[in-house]
């Protein structure tokens, strides 16, 4: 079975005609976008993604992941990376046949945690917006994209 869940930022952005063609196939189901990804991943044999956090969540759960797009976990030795859509069948078969290297996966996850900043992209509570803002500000300061003086001035203008 192939279960498809639209990315929250792309809801309604796909052609209804294409979706109907997919849903006409016996082995394809479209899941509601609010369906909990954790449960979907837990019950899956493999996850195919373009560049979503669902791929990262699948890595965390020890599931094989096929990556089609550019994402921070591509090329890190914990996914099967497809170069183009014509490679998808072979990539899925490779992912289904592979055994997860937990040492490599844990090493990647520990590094990803070190690279991370606080904030949830699709949750807009006051607390999360402040966390996200502070994380982004810290990243921009550390990377040298903005100078501390600019942040001080910006905060003084609030």
How far apart, in whole angstroms, are the C-alpha atoms of residue 26 and residue 2?
A: 9
What is the per-residue pLDDT across 92-106, written as a single tens digit (0 to 9) for each? 999 999 999 999 999
User: What pTM value is reported for the model?
Assistant: 0.75
How far apart, in whole angstroms, are the C-alpha atoms of residue 40 and residue 34?
A: 11
- DSSP H or E segment with residue 10: none
pLDDT band at 152 (very low <50, low <70, confident <90, very high): low
Residue 13 has pLDDT above 90, yes or no: no
At residue 113's C-alpha, the angle toward residues 72 and 79, to 5°, is 40
Q: Give the pLDDT of residue 141.
A: 84
Please compute the mean of the pLDDT values over residues 8-16 and round it to a whole number: 81
How far apart, in whole angstroms, are the C-alpha atoms of residue 37 and residue 57?
A: 8
Task: Provide Rg for the chain, Cα atoms.
Answer: 19
């Amino acid at each position: 079975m192939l279960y498809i869940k639209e990315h929250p930022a792309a809801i309604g952005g796909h052609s209804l005609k294409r979706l109907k063609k997919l849903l006409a196939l016996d082995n394809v189901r479209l899941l509601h976008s609010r369906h909990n990804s954790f449960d979907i991943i837990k019950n899956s044999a493999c996850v195919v993604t373009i560049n979503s956090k669902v791929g990262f969540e699948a890595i965390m759960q020890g599931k094989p992941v096929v990556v089609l797009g550019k994402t921070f976990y591509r090329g890190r030795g914990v996914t099967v990376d497809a170069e183009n859509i014509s490679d998808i069948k072979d990539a899925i078969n490779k992912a289904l046949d592979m055994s997860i290297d937990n040492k490599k996966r844990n090493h990647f996850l520990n590094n990803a945690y070190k690279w991370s900043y606080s904030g949830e992209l699709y949750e807009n509570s006051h607390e999360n917006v402040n966390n996200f803002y502070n994380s982004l500000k810290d990243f921009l300061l550390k990377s040298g994209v903005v100078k501390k003086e600019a942040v001080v001035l910006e905060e003084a203008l609030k």
